[in-house]
Structure 1
Amino acid sequence: MHFIAVSINHRTADVALREKVAFNDDAIRSANVGLYETKSILENVILSTCNRTEVYAVVDQIHTGRYYIQRFLARSFELDVEEIKEMTEVNVGDEAVQHLLQVTSGLDSVVLGETQILGQIRKAFFIAQEVETTGTIFNHLFKQAITFAKKAHNETDIADNAVSVSYAAVELSKKVFGKISNKQALIIGAGDMSELSLLNLIGSGVTDITIVNRTLSKAQNLAMKHQVKFDSMESLPKLLAEVDIVISSTSSEYYIITNDMLQTQATERKNDSLVMIDIAVPRDIEPNIDAVQDVFSYDVDDLKGLVDANLRERQRAAEQILQSIPAEIEAHNEWVNMLGVVPVIRALREKAMTIQEDTMDSIDRKLPGLTERERKIISKHTKSIINQMLKDPIKQAKELSSDRRSNEKLELFQNIFDIEAENAYESNKRMKQSKVGQILSFE
């Protein structure tokens, strides 16, 4: 068996290409099943987000597995296989495990250390489990990856420092006020950056939020989408006297908030401090406006300094996480190697217990007058003999799991004891044939 990860991501394809190869939520279940029915595929999980479409698969052969995965993607999106090959990166074995661990912990994301991908991986895995395209390998590996990512986030600062301008804007408000869940916020503008700022405010517990925009309908649409308030741009002076936080992001060629406007409203202000964050280029807020008492004004250059410093902190945390990945890969490999040993040990025990049971049947026939107590004593001692005899062979079998020639030596082990054990590969293949057979018979 081989683990393979085929990835289309922000490094291998631009957004226009990534849009062409994204599975929507309705299609992901049938896509998993369709891939599972493909030749060479023994287990699979499909991840599809705005920044990546990835196929994780356990395959019987690397080359055929890679080909059939790429062909599956090409057919799913009506593209040529060559087009898919050009935009995919393929990792195999340990590199595939490392890729999964880095993706799950946010080290491979556009925004380093973002935590949303962990939920997306978990969801992709659960969907694959629901449609029964995972098996022994992935049921263990994906749980390991999810646990690893949670631990990485808890034990490092990878996700604690803002590295996007809109997120940094909200974090800057927290630095001034400490707690902002009880504050009133105003967002000027209704574009993508404004929506991201809105989502970050909501995520920080702010509930009293008003959106204003030059086109009122756009402010209304965004406000209704996220269940907040909206108002006209004409209401801006009045709102400045009421709110605590202002985040502005418009495409205006002129200042939206001027010094004169704020001076006029200074006597009307209900709250002590006003934090104004200008993430627009060109700027929406007149420079040096923070000369007004208790007004704190920041622009994109101020935020950039914060973002750069925070990115360095995340990069240090990322290095910590990267250093712990080899141990995870080794643990996974040890577990996989033991998969080949466990059936052998089971087969050996089953053969030994069959011999013990046959021996007890023979004793019952030859000594029919045994009492129940005598029979139990004989059965207990024969089992003890078997366990003592099996102790060293089982120990040797376990040690073979880490041997370079483990497959060859395990085969010799089975020949010596005249046993036959089904390995994980054969088990997966049999289960797959059984499931596909059920699907075909149902159809």
Structure 2
Amino acid sequence: MAVSAGFAGPRLGNLMPRDSPACSPSMSFAPARSLKRMGRERRNGGGGVRCEVTTAKEDPKLMELSSVSALEQLKASALDRYTKERSSIVVIGLSVHTTPVEMREKLAIPEAEWPRAIEELCRLNHIEEAAVLSTCNRTEIYAVALSQHRGVKEVTEWMSKTSGIPVSVLCQHRFLLYNNDAAQHLFEVSSGLDSLVLGEGQILAQVKQVVKVGQGVVGFGRSISGLFKHAISVGKRVRTETNIASGAVSISSAAVELALMKIPESSHATARMLVIGAGKMGKLVIKHLVAKGCTKMVVVNRSEERVAAIGEELRGVEITYKPLTEMLSCAAEADVIFTSTASEAPLFLKEHVQNLPPVGQEVGGLRLFIDISVPRNVSPCAVDARGAKVYNVDDLTEVVAANKEDRLHKAMEAQTIIAEETKQFEAWRDSLETVPTIKKLRAYAERIRIAELEKCLSKLGDDLPKKTKRAVDDLSRSIVNKLLHGPMQHLRCDGDDGRTLSETLENMHALNRIFSLDTDVQLMEQKIKAKIEQSQK
């Protein structure tokens, strides 16, 4: 189905990393490479980008750095870049909108392999957290990266290694989105706005599965977990408030919906269904019947192989194969008949339809023929046959067109919801910035408390009763907790109120300055050190 550019496929804005691959040499932990080639990006007068490379011979400071440890080299070359902005959420994706099926097949990651993939991704030097969303229509890697460019480069190389597709080919088909754009994209995916069939519901279940599989996996961290959980809430809200999934938007789904509309709801589970033809359209009819709760049907086809393949794909459904020579006898035992063959001559003439035995009142008293073939499989003369009601593809196209138009209108409503939810997620993520400050401030106060407590106890002597020591210790804890209560309250924010969030972040920066906590720098140093130690194991 063709959907307007506002709703189908990833947005194409902000697709290139801030630090262009052409101008940012890859970071290496080897001293010679990391110190002799340190690129600095500068914008020239024409708006382009040029690279200036400084060698160790030209700069005495670099000569001095050449003797320091790998950690110090890394900090010298990258820490300034990292501490200017927090870690980024990135999505590296290849979907049905950008990538042919033969590539998607190679990129597909089975659900059982998702935990292993997350762990491998998080062992990359610049990836902190990760998640995998892999379906028949897409393979998307979501990651929290210490550096946008380097993180994207590492993930792309990992995808190339696991799929066997060259990086150059992946780069031709992938799309890249960062932070709010990445969050908005996932919210659109979970809402069914990025699907081939606008508003389809299966993708929401697949997003839920990402969270289920990710629980307990090292690397499915707070930010990525929070993003996917928020996406589930957004998908549910869009479907509830817009009802975007209602109404068939394909001929095959419209055929099934029409059939179920024409027979009493009480007989939906018991009506005898017959599908004639197991080609593309016939297979879709079968799938839509299964989606509506039909678990038993007869399929007439020239060969049994296609029917058997469909049965293998749809486990738990009773599909009985019958050859084309038994078509009329099968029709005599069916309440609803779907026809979708490539036959150029009608399969059912008026006399065929009239000679079939009547159906029971429990299914409405009329046998339904729903003919979605062109040329028609049911003769036009059969429209007047007694005991039957015949519908053809023209009866369905208007319904499909109306439903598509309705879904596009609902998609516009959904975008308003998604924009609102994206802002809420951004606020929640901003609120996480205060967590390291809270930890640092409490650790700072605890160090002072313990040092002063030890001084006090040493002055009171070694023969001090345990009860007294415990009372002094409790007193010092109580004083510290009461002193910290005010600052801690001003560092806590759920992210729902933009004004409160702004004030909270101002308080965070003020406390960092007042107590010299240097949260961002120290935290980033810890992350970089951990990554280096991990890579050296």
Shorter-chain TM-score bucket reads 0.7 to 0.9
301, 325, 331: which one aligns with 2:418: 325
Q: Say which of 390, 409, 413 aligns to 1:316.
A: 409
Give the C-alpha shift of residue 45 in structure 1.
1.5
1:238 and 2:336 matched: no
- Kindly tell me: are residues 61 and 151 of structure 1, through their superposed partners in 2, closer, same or farther at Cα, counting changes over 3 Å? same
Partner of 1:286: 379
Say whether the 8 Å CA contact 1:13–1:87 is kept in structure 2.
yes
Between 365-374 and 89-98, the greater mean CA deviation after superposition = 365-374
Matches within 5 A, 1:378-389: 385-389=479-483
Asked whether 1:194 is paired with 2:261, we answer no
Q: Give deviations 1:55-82, integer Å, cap 9, x for gaps.
A: 1111111122222222222333333322
1:32-58 CA-to-partner distances (Å, cap 9, x unmatched) read 433332232222212222211211111
Secondary structure at the aligned position of 1:309 is classed as helix
Is 2:191–2:236's contact at 8 Å kept on the other side of the alignment?
yes
Q: Distance in 1 between matches of 2:260 and 2:184?
A: 36
Shift of 1:315: 2.1
Taking the aligned partners of 1:270 and 1:13, their CA distance within structure 2 comes to 50
CA distance in 1, matches of 2:129, 2:476: 42
Helix, strand or coil at the partner of 1:228: strand
Q: How does 1:348-427 map to 2 (within 5 A)?
A: 348-356=441-449, 385-397=479-491, 402-403=501-502, 410=508, 413-419=511-517, 421=519
Asked whether the equivalents of residues 340 and 424 of structure 1 are also in contact (C-alpha less than 8 Å), the reply is no
Output the CA distance in 2 between the equivalents of 1:133 and 1:116. Answer: 26
Equivalent position of 1:345 in the other structure: 438
Instruction: Indicate the residue corresponding to 2:234 in structure 1.
Output: 148
Distance 1:126 1:429 in 2: 29
Residues 340, 401 of structure 1: 8 Å contact kept: no
Is residue 191–residue 199 contact of structure 2 (8 Å, CA) maintained in 1?
A: yes
**2:170 is the alignment partner of 1:72:** no
Correspondence 1:208-287 to 2 at 5 A: 208-216=296-304, 218-219=306-307, 222=310, 226-265=317-356, 267-270=357-360, 272-287=365-380
Counterpart position of 2:19: none
The letter for the 2-side match of 1:248 is: T
For residues 298 and 23 of structure 1, the distance between their equivalents in structure 2, rounded to whole angstroms, comes to 42
The one-letter code matched in structure 1 to 2:487 is: P
Q: Is the Cα contact below 8 Å between 1:181 and 1:204 reproduced in 2? A: no
CA distance in 2, matches of 1:335, 1:216: 55
Which one-letter code corresponds to 1:21 in the other structure?
L
Cross-structure match for 1:5 = 91
- Aligned equivalents of 1:216, 1:384: Cα separation in 2: 79
Cα offset for 1:187? 0.6
The farther-off stretch of 191-200 and 20-29 is 20-29
Alignment-derived partner of residue 70 in structure 2: none
Structure 2 vs 1, CA of residues 92 and 401 (structure 1 numbering), >3 Å: closer, same or farther? farther
| 1:51 corresponding residue in structure 2 | 137
1:121 matched to 2:207? The reply is yes
Q: Which runs of 4+ in 1 moved over 6 A?
A: 367-381
AA at the equivalent of 2:160? A
CA contact (8 A) 1:47 1:55 kept: yes
- Quick one: which of 293, 296, 303 aligns to 1:205? 293
Distance in 1 (CA, whole Å) between partners of 2:370 and 2:213 is 41
Distance verdict in 2 for CA 1:221–1:332, change over 3 Å: closer
The SS at the match of 1:210 is strand
1:107 deviates by 0.8
**Residue 210 of structure 1, CA deviation:** 0.8
- Which structure 2 segments of 5+ residues have no match? 1-86, 494-498
Identity of aligned residues (%): 29
Q: Distance in 1 between matches of 2:214 and 2:435?
A: 26
Q: Per the alignment, do residues 131 and 181 of structure 1 end up closer, same or farther by CA in structure 2, a change over 3 Å counting? A: same
For 1:110, the equivalent position in structure 2 comes to 196
Count how many residue pairs are aligned between Structure 1 and Structure 2. Answer: 436
TM-score, normalization by structure 2? 0.71
CA distance in 1, matches of 2:151, 2:126: 5
* Aligned match of 2:272: 184
Instruction: Give secondary structure in 2 for the equivalent of 1:238.
Output: helix
**C-alpha distance in 2 between matches for 1:244 and 1:428:** 66
Change beyond 3 A, Cα 1:389–1:208: closer
What is the TM-score with the length of structure 1 in the denominator? 0.85
User: In the superposition, relative to structure 1, how do residues 427 and 359 fare at CA in structure 2: closer, same or farther (>3 Å)?
Assistant: closer
* Alpha-carbon distance between aligned partners in 2 of 1:25 and 1:258, rounded to the nearest angstrom: 49
Q: SS at the partner of 2:432?
A: helix
Q: For residues 78 and 383 of structure 1, do their structure 2 counterparts lie closer, same or farther at Cα, with a shift above 3 Å needed?
A: closer
